[in-house]
Each structure stands twice: as structure tokens, then as C-alpha cells.
Amino acid sequence: MMARGVRVFLLLLWTADTPWGAGVQVLPPVNFTLTVSALAQVLLRWEPNPAQEKNNSTIRYDVKILHPVLEEYDTKRTHSVRTAAFHDGFSARVRTLLVQEDLEMGSDWVEANLPPLPGAAGTSVTNLSCVIRVTTLGNVSLHCTWLPGQEAPEDTKYFLFYRYEKHTEECPTYTKDKSNRNTECRFASTQIQPGEIDTLIVVHVNGSSQRAAIKPFQQLFNQNAIEKVNVPRNISVSLQQNDLLAMWEKPISPFHEECFEYEFYLINLKSGNKQILKIPSNSFRLRIDVSSRYSVRIRANHNHICRARGFWSDWSEILYVGQNKLENSIAWILTLLCVSTSCTFLLVVIIRKINHVWSKLFPPIPTPSNKFRDPFPVDYERARTCTSSTETEVGSLAEGFSCSILDDSVF
């Protein structure tokens, strides 16, 4: 902006008193053309005006991209390549600049346009979003999702292509929606270089249908901004006196340790307090309450120093540190007691049931020898056994059962 202002000022100054004399004419370039040279890539080309006198000055060209994204630059060359999503067309202007020392004079502009890509309105995909991940092998995967256009007929079939530098490839694996239209695509491996900074990934989604022409859609993604960062590795957490000490390694990535920042998610399991701390390095010490047990998780992202931020990684596995020792052992004993009690109880119920069925099927044969015996001592025995066992363990719950249970299981 500043440089531009200075240039305009000099230009005014110079036209008032030109060293070339008043007769000098600056002529616009000729044969300005736009050609699609790759997906979402336009080649701008022009020729110097054959009638232009150089007269000891240099010729440069001023280029102004008007659509889809405003951009201005100047160049010595007579061609230029631009990457842009031009599904809605592309237009640009160019003019000649005559430059001598710090002074320059511009010609009129010449303009060229690319029409919008053909297709019916509303048939393009919407809500396109893409994510890349760096795999363990250093390959980069790409995953994109989108929604069918509002006006896209039921039979629309969408196709997704990505371009990275010179490489263009169609999606090998689509996922379909209920109407059988592709709405998701996965490349397990791509030509995307994981260590590049601010390189653009071009995504182009076109389609076909019997009932309408499907308008293609293009979007450019900065590879660093759509990277889902990997989870930090080898996390270790320990206690050192009153401090929690955590260390980990940077995620799988070609980038340096300094390029990452972390979030540390700490929960005090005793009080339920939660804390998320931003950590700029990969180790960390924090004063904690040593009588509490803590759960710890960590996630990573690129920091702004190295590149565009990506998407936060998933949280790491949960790690625990510290112990509520006393409460723990009491809880453990109680649990054990409960489990063993209910097991015994269940066992006893089951056996009782089995025996019940058994005695129905095979009723006991009365034996004459029993006739003269006094039954009371046996009952007395039973009753006594019941009370002693029920009181301590099963309590009121089992009182009804236990008398008969006991004798069944014993005999």
C-alpha cells in the first residue's frame, strides 16, 4: 500500500517534467490471453506491443487479478501463472510500465476473462471440507466431505479431484449418502509433501446427471491449515514430591519440536476440578495436591511460529497419577465384601432351586426307621446354623431362605 502510494506520487511528479520529453507514448501489451493450465490454475500470457519504443528504459508489466480474488503485482516477464478457484470465472488486466530509474509510466489496461464453469445454478457441492493427516510412514492421507447442491437431481454423481503442484488425481474411494450420491472421499496416500509450508491443495468437485448439468466447484486449502495433527507420543507422568512431572515427544511429523504447542487436560478425580493448560514445550511441572488422584490427557497443534495452525490432535490416552490411598483400600475391601456376599447368596439360591426341582421329581421315600425318631434335634440344629450365618453376612435379605438353604447344601 505504502509503496503504491509513493509510486503514484512519483508518477505525477514525473509526468509534469519527463526526462523523455512530452512525446513518449506507453502502449498496452497485445494478445493477452488466459488459459487453464491445470485444475484451478490459469496461465496469463501477453506480448509486448510491437510499436513500443524502449528508448533506454525498461519495460515491465503491471498485472491486476480482478476476480475471484483481488491481487496486484508487476513482472518483467510476459506470462504468469495463478492458482485460483475459478468456478465462477476469472478476470485479469495487464498494462505496460515504462521504467527509468525510479520513475515509471503506465499504459492503458487490457483485460481478459474466463467465463464461469458451465452448469446449472445450485448443483455445485456445498460445505466442502478437507483434512490431511501425516501417517506413520510419512505419507499424507486426504479426507474430504461435502453436501450435494440444493438443486442437484437425485441421480447426481459427484467426482472429486485434488491437485498438488503438478500432480492431479481422482478420488479412489467414495462414500455415498442415502440417495446414493457421493458425499465423502478418502485418499489413503497422496503426493502431498508433509514438510511443506503454505503449499496449496486444490480440490475440484464436478459431477454428472441425466437431468442437469452439474456445475463444478473448486476450493484451495493451505495444507498446514487443514492438517489434523497427530497425537503426542511417549507421554510419561510422575510425581516428584509435590509436583506432577510430565514429559512427552512431539507428534509424528517432519516438523521440529519448536513448531508444536500442547494442551494439557488435568482432572482432580477427588474434587472433580478440571484444568486445561497451554504448554509451549514438551515437558511440564505443576504443583498438585498429592492426596488426590489425577487423570491427564495431552493434545498437540502447530504453533503460529512455524506455520498456519492445523486442527488440534485427538486427546492422548488417559494417564493417571497419584492415589487416594486410604479411601481406595476401604473401597476395595467393601467391593470385595459385597461381591463375595452376593456370590454366596446367588450360589445358594441356585442350589436351592435345583434341589427343589430334584425333590419334586424324586420325592423322598419314607423309611420306617424314621417313624420313631424325634425330629426336633434336627430342626434345632438347622435353626442354629441359620441364625449364626445370616446375622453376620446376608442379614435380613436372606433370612427367609437360609434355614432350608443350609440344610440342603449341607446334606
Ligand X SMILES: *[C@@H]1O[C@H](CO)[C@@H](O)[C@H](O)[C@H]1NC(C)=O
**Contact string (CB under 6 A) for ligand X, positions 340-379, x = contact:** ----------------------------------------
Burial of 23 (0-12, 13-18, 19+ CB in 10 A): exposed
Cβ-contact 153, 181 below 8 angstroms: no
User: Which residue, 233 or 309, is less far from ligand X as judged by CB?
Assistant: 233
Q: How big is the site for ligand X, counted in residues (CB under 6 A)?
A: 26
* Among the listed residues 7, 10, 11, 24, the single contact to ligand X using CB under 6 A: 24
- Residue 336 sits in the site that holds ligand X (CB under 6 A): no
- Residue 55 sits in the site that holds ligand X (CB under 6 A): yes
Cβ-contact 267, 273 below 8 angstroms: yes
User: What minimum distance in Å lies between the beta carbon of 40 and ligand X?
Assistant: 10
User: Which residue, 141 or 389, is less far from ligand X as judged by CB?
Assistant: 141
* CA Rg value for the chain: 40
Burial of 195 (0-12, 13-18, 19+ CB in 10 A): exposed
- Residue 30 sits in the site that holds ligand X (CB under 6 A): yes
- Residue 37 sits in the site that holds ligand X (CB under 6 A): no
- Residue 77 sits in the site that holds ligand X (CB under 6 A): no
**52: Cβ contacts below 8 Å, ≥ 6 apart:** 26, 27, 59, 96
Q: For residue 107, give Cα distances in angstroms to 22, 97, 401.
A: 15, 6, 108
Q: How far apart are CA 278 and CA 300, in angstroms?
A: 10
* Among the listed residues 91, 139, 145, 199, the single contact to ligand X using CB under 6 A: 139
- Residue 206 sits in the site that holds ligand X (CB under 6 A): yes
User: What minimum distance in Å lies between the beta carbon of 307 and ligand X?
Assistant: 21
User: What minimum distance in Å lies between the beta carbon of 109 and ligand X?
Assistant: 18
Q: What are phi and psi of 89, to 5 degrees?
A: 100, 170
Applying CB under 6 A, which part among 49-57, 66-74, 288-296, 384-392 lies near ligand X? 49-57
- Pairing between β-strand 110-114 and β-strand 126-134 as defined by DSSP bridges: unpaired
Torsion of the alpha carbons at 319, 325, 329 and 334, rounded to the nearest 10: -80
Footprint of ligand X (CB under 6 A): 20-21, 23-24, 30-31, 39, 47, 50, 53, 55-56, 126-127, 137, 139, 147, 159, 161, 188-189, 206, 208, 233-234, 249
